[in-house]
Amino acid sequence: MPGSDSFAIIDVFTDTPLQGNQLGVFPHADAIPAERMQPIALELGFSETVFVLPARNGGDARLRIFTPTNELPFAGHPVLGSAFLVGEEREAEELALETGAGVVSVALRRENARVAFGTMAQPLPSWELYEHADEILRALGIERSGLPIEEYRNGPHFVYVELPDAAAVASLEPDQRALARLRVGIYCFAVDGTTVKSRMFAPGMGVAEDPATGSAAGSLAVHLALHRRIEFGTRIEIHQGAEIGRPSVLYACAQGSSDELERVEVGGGAVIVARGEFLAGTR
């Protein structure tokens, strides 16, 4: 059995090594002191680092998720990437992972005995109009959003800004210092049918730009369905991360209606690219 200092690096929301969103996972972290987890996440420097712990409420495992600066109750690519690693170790096809936002179920699909794709049922978000919309527009250097600028919460907080096309999203050069003062993730996107081009900036959470944002992908599907850009039950394909050299592909679907949201699913691939031993701070 690997020790508490063993860890893996996983590229999430891609099937190609060295693309997607990097994730550090300590799969047997029960002996790591809680006060060491945040410094370890800062040391690794990825968007998130996960510590896998014994379950407390009947699930298969419990996850603690850290950005370089703070702990999150839930985040998409950490849950999905951890599921790939835990599913590989336990030869599982379904997992129930306990997070600070509740139990998240993940279904895993295998190809040639290797876990190749996962789909998670995310916590249902709440949402409201964002009160600092003008500040976001100024920081992004744009005049308006095609849809109302709304804030969604499913653990993390994301604010959604629609641009006219993929080229406008790709050309963004935001004022990172101004965005950092807002303490939310700024999710910028453009829609072409069921294909979405996106970028997500969260300097206030220690992440200047995220290569792939799973928790925001689910709420994006809700946002688009509520504003009739797509029908409920439609799966969208989201492309993110190319501008920072980490192209990623995410799939999301919101089921239900404008009166009752029933289920939000987000899926994608992942690749385990490294395994090692962390020599400092785990004991």
**Can you name the residues that pair with 26 across neighbouring β-strands?**
51
CB 217 within 8 A of CB 76: yes
For residue 147, report the phi and psi dihedrals to the nearest 5 degrees.
-120, 160
Residue 144 corresponds to which tokens in the numbers above? 């308006």
CB 197 within 8 A of CB 239: yes
Query: Closest Cα to residue 26, out of 62, 68, 70, 74?
Result: 62
What angle separates helix 214-226 from helix 76-90, to the nearest 10 degrees? 120
Q: Do β-strands 102-111 and 195-202 pair in parallel, antiparallel, or remain unpaired?
A: unpaired
CB 41 within 8 A of CB 26: no
Report d(CA 238, CA 247) in Å as an integer.
11
Catalytic residues: 48
CB 110 within 8 A of CB 97: no
Positive or negative, the Cα torsion across 8, 9, 11, 13? positive
CB 199 within 8 A of CB 169: yes
